[in-house]
Amino acid sequence: MTGIIDSKICNIESICNLIRKLGFPYKIIDSNEKFDGISHLILPGVGAFARAMENLEKYRLLDGIKAHAAAGKPMLGICLGMQLLFDSSEEFGHSTGLGLIPGNIIKIKTDMVLPHMGWNNLKISQKIPLLENIAQDSDVYFVHSFRADTENKYIAASAEYGETIPAVVFRENIMGTQFHPEKSLKWGEKIMTNFFNIK
């Protein structure tokens, strides 16, 4: 059973629709009491880093998320959810993150229009189960103005938008996509199927 974290700051219906389409069971987690029986955990997010962390604490979700990660179970952060996996963010000042992957979230340094929004190609640099049978230069859909600043060993794929953008990050059982798999058509469906098949 997959758990989807509902932090009350984004519409989770699109990711739920995709999971239903793919035929995997799931439940919404909006309190610490609902983590029982969860094998896989998805942390979606849209909006501001600090607000998201505040809501995870407000709705008593932090302990369950950290316990799931510590147990070695697969966990996937999507967009802002991916950014929350890191130590901190500079968005609207300094905010502390979940600290599950070393690194920080910084604003994209480019003269190009922000947010980075639309389709962009994945440059895969490391083979991980999440990217099994994902073709080099696959198109996926991004919407963001901040990016992860982390060591290359935690980056499995990147995209170019004025500078190199970490697009898929990982550390053991913890994974994250800066893009939206639920908006990325066939490649997004394949990535999500790969995630559900990770044991």
Specify whether 79 is catalytic. yes
- Nearest 5°: the CA angle 182, 186, 191 is 65
Nearest-angstrom CA–CA distance, 150 and 87: 10
Q: Which is it for the CA torsion 104, 107, 111, 112, positive or negative?
A: positive
Helices 13-22 and 185-196 pack at an angle, to 10 degrees, of 70
Specify whether 182 is catalytic. yes
Q: Of these residues, 68, 116, 144, 182, which one is catalytic?
A: 182
The string over 37-50, giving b where at least 16 C-beta atoms fall within 10 Å of a residue's C-beta and e elsewhere, is ebebbbbbbbebbb
Nearest-angstrom CA–CA distance, 42 and 130: 13
Nearest-angstrom CA–CA distance, 58 and 41: 19
Cβ(5)–Cβ(40) below 8 Å: no
Q: Of these residues, 40, 68, 144, 180, which one is catalytic?
A: 180
Q: Of these residues, 10, 40, 79, 116, which one is catalytic?
A: 79
Nearest-angstrom CA–CA distance, 102 and 154: 8
Which single residue is written with the structure tokens 């996996």? 85
Catalytic residue numbers read 79, 180, 182
